[in-house]
Amino acid sequence: MTNASATSANQTVESTTNAPNALLDAKDVVMKKKIMSLREHYDFEDPSGRKLGEGDGNFFQVPAKFKIISTDPSGNPGEEIMHIDGKLLSIRHEFDLYDASGQLLGAIKKKIAKLIGQEYWLEQNGQEVMRIYGDFTAHEYVMSINSQTVAQVHKKWVSIRDQFEVSLTGNVDPRLVLGSVIVVEHLEVTERESTS
């Protein structure tokens, strides 16, 4: 990738919405996943436990789709901030991320084969702008842009249901990070269930 195209891609990755939003403004988010449900549901909270938003999908919907909505200051469901659409006809797993108005934010793809471990990447306009790699089985992975870490995911082991700490450590659109975590967790659970 040339310096000019890398700069252009980086500006797109770093862009955020203009309206203030607690979920999009948070640098540390706790994602709580409901595991005893036909629906795939995530609650997003700040480290103190204040609800910031939620994400919903369906295990049996093909291709998979998700919607992320914010929570207003009273704790009630607010506006949609993004949605995620899986692609049915794809050689590899692929999910498109859209903002609330339907504008494409990026596409997440999983590498088919890698010598060591697994890896995902996010494309914008056909060019890779963010890589996602680590130990997906242990829910420990990072996201990087131009070899710089911009977000990290860690599993919290002291919980009844799956909980993940998502830390944004660099300049990146938080929608890309939240959407990527949902896609990774969805695919890892789906693949484990299909092989067990």
Q: Which residues pair with 166 in a beta bridge?
A: 29, 153
- The pTM of this model reads 0.83
Query: How many structural domains does the chain have?
Result: 1
> What is the distance between the alpha carbons of residues 116 and 133, in angstroms, rounded to a whole number?
11
Q: Which residues pair with 82 in a beta bridge?
A: 68, 99
Q: What is the CATH number of the domain that holds 168?
A: 2.40.160.200
pLDDT reported for residue 25? 94
- Over the stretch 119-169, which tens digit does the pLDDT of each residue have? 899 999 999 999 999 988 888 999 999 999 999 999 886 655 678 899 999
pLDDT at 9 over 50: no
pLDDT reported for residue 7? 44
The token duo for 152 is: 């990290």
* Residue showing tokens 């955020």: 16
3-state secondary structure 30-98: EEEEECCCCEEEEEEECCCCCEEEEEEEECCCCCCEEEEEEECCCCCEEEEEEEEEECCCCCCCEEEEE
pLDDT reported for residue 166? 96
Full residue range of the structural domain in which residue 105 is found: 3-12+20-195
Q: Which residues pair with 41 in a beta bridge?
A: 34, 56
- Over the stretch 23-65, which tens digit does the pLDDT of each residue have? 999 999 999 987 655 678 899 999 999 999 999 987 677 788 9
> What is the distance between the alpha carbons of residues 68 and 179, in angstroms, rounded to a whole number?
8
Q: What angle do CA 12, 18, 23 make, to 5 degrees?
A: 90
